[in-house]
Amino acid sequence: MRRLLLVAMCAACHREVLIGSNAKVTVAPQLADLGLIVLGEEATADVQLDVTFGTVEILDITVTPTLGDGFDVVAPPSDIDADVLNPLTISFHPTSAGFASAVVEVTTDAPLPLVSFEVRGRSAFADLRATPAIVDLGIVPATETGSGSVGLDLIGDRAVTLAGATTSDLALKVDTAFPLPIGVGGHVDVELSYSAPDDEPWVGRVSFITGTATVPDVVLVRANDCGRGLPEAYDVDGDGVSACGGDCDDHNPLIRPSGVELLNNLDDDCDGTIDNRTSGSDDDGDGYCEDPVCVDGAKAGDCDDSNADIFPRATELADNGIDDNCDGLLDPNAADLDHDGYSIEGGDCDDRSSSIRPGTPEYLNDVDDDCNGLIDDRTTVFDDDGDGYCESLSACIDGTLPGDCADNNAQRAPNVTETPDHLDNDCDGRIDNDTNRGDDDGDGFTELGGDCNDHDATVSPAFSNCP
Residues 8, 119: one domain?
Answer: yes
Residues 107, 152: one domain?
Answer: no
Residues 135, 71: one domain?
Answer: no
Q: Rounded to 10 degrees, what is the CA torsion of 269, 273, 278, 280?
A: 150
Contact 148, 192 (CB under 8 A): yes
Is residue 233 a part of any domain in this protein?
A: no
* Measured distance CA(212)–CA(191) in Å, rounded: 22
Residues 119, 8: one domain?
Answer: yes
* Measured distance CA(383)–CA(389) in Å, rounded: 5
- In tens, the pLDDT along 298-311 reads 999 999 999 999 99
Residues 42, 68: one domain?
Answer: yes
Is residue 109 a part of any domain in this protein?
A: yes
Residues 115, 8: one domain?
Answer: yes
Residues 134, 220: one domain?
Answer: yes
Residues 136, 68: one domain?
Answer: no
Residues 168, 64: one domain?
Answer: no
pLDDT value at residue 164: 87
**pLDDT above 60: residue 134:** yes
Reference 148, options 63, 219, 228, 42; nearest CA is 219
Residues 119, 25: one domain?
Answer: yes
Q: Does residue 87 have a cis bond before it (omega within 30 degrees)?
A: no
| Residues of the chain by 3-state class (helix, strand, coil), percent to 5 | 5, 30, 65
**pLDDT above 80: residue 137:** yes
CATH number of the domain within which 91 lies? 2.60.40.10
Is residue 135 a part of any domain in this protein?
A: yes
Picking from 94, 124, 154, the residue at the C-terminal end of a domain is: 124
Is residue 193 a part of any domain in this protein?
A: yes
**How large is the greatest C-alpha to C-alpha distance in the chain, in angstroms?**
123
Residues 98, 139: one domain?
Answer: no
Is residue 163 a part of any domain in this protein?
A: yes
Mean pLDDT to the nearest integer, 415-432: 94
Domain hosting residue 145, numbered range: 128-225
Mean pLDDT to the nearest integer, 387-410: 94
* Measured distance CA(339)–CA(386) in Å, rounded: 35
Is residue 64 a part of any domain in this protein?
A: yes
Is this prediction's pTM over 0.75? no
The domain tally of the chain equals 2
Picking from 124, 150, 184, the residue at the C-terminal end of a domain is: 124
Picking from 81, 107, 124, the residue at the C-terminal end of a domain is: 124
pLDDT higher for 50 or 160? 50
Residues 120, 148: one domain?
Answer: no
- In tens, the pLDDT along 186-220 reads 999 999 999 999 999 999 999 887 655 566 567 88
